[in-house]
Amino acid sequence: MDLGLGGRRYLLTGASRGLGAATARALVDDGARVLISSRSPESVDAAVASLGGAPAAYGLAADLADPDAAQRLVEACRSELGGLDGVLVSVGGPAPGTVLDTDESAWRDAVDSVLLGTIRLVKAVVPELAEGAAIGLVLSTSVRQPIGHLAVSNGLRPGLAMTAKALADELGPRGVRVLGLLPGTIATDRITDIEAASGDPGGMRDRTEAGIPLRRVGRPEEFGRVAAFALSPAASYVTGTMIAVDGGVTRAL
């Protein structure tokens, strides 16, 4: 299938590694051009190099918690890509913890980066998008069911899902699509770190996989291919929905 990505231009945040990087890889491999960002300049530079550099890939270090980051990213897309046909917004996962044990400062930090950072970026990119463009938010299966010991994520991700749904209504008449992606357990560095912190990474992986219908964690490229399709013209009638990429682990419809 031709996804129609040739020559299209995308901004991806949180994309120097993990799910964002896998999506950037899938987009570039199918002919798109990308500008990727994350907080670390060194990580951005390495990711851009791995994608082959210009003219296929560019990068800019930015932290979405910074109120100026959104406009800087938009200006970089104008300069390097000549415009935008879509954006994938991925923000680092909030710190783990329970509802009662998580300090209020951790909630405030997450609101600044995960919630407000996403909204600021979306508001900044919308004027750049024409009919046929797409906005994708990388969320979590916590949109549909809570994940143990991730209270902040459980609190914020569903709100962003409903924000995406509202945006789909607002932008639909302009031909701009908005959707969410709900990754389950994917073998990224973050998952490896969580497993290591448990003190029994092998045991934790076994328990996780036992609860997944496909009996394995996902691979980043499996998420990247789904995200690239969702952002592409091939998915031109898909909007206002949440797409689970979780091996079947979510029990809700």
- Do β-strands 57-61 and 33-38 pair in parallel, antiparallel, or remain unpaired? parallel
**What pLDDT does 67 receive?**
93
Quote the pLDDT of residue 188.
87
Supply the pTM of this predicted model: 0.95
Residue of 102, 120, 96, 115 lying closest to 159 (CA atoms): 115
What is the distance between the alpha carbons of residues 184 and 189, in angstroms, rounded to a whole number? Answer: 14
Residues 6+ apart with CB under 8 A from 24: 10, 12, 15, 34, 36, 47, 51, 57, 224
Q: In angstroms, rounded to a whole number, what is the distance separating the alpha carbons of residues 185 and 187?
A: 7
The domain defined by 9-244 folds into Rossmann fold (3.40.50)
Which residues on adjacent β-strands are paired with residue 61? 38
- CA distance to 47, 88, 123, 235, 238, per residue, from 34 (Å): 11, 10, 19, 19, 22
Q: What is the pLDDT of residue 91?
A: 85
Cβ atoms of 188 and 199 closer than 8 Å:
no
Q: Which residues contact 204 (CB under 8 A, 6 or more apart)?
A: 194, 195, 198
Which residues of the chain carry a pLDDT beneath 70? Answer: none
Q: How high is the pLDDT of residue 1?
A: 84
Gap between the Cα atoms of 182 and 175, Å rounded: 23
For 19-33, write each residue's pLDDT tens digit: 999 999 999 999 999
Give me the pLDDT at residue 176, please: 98
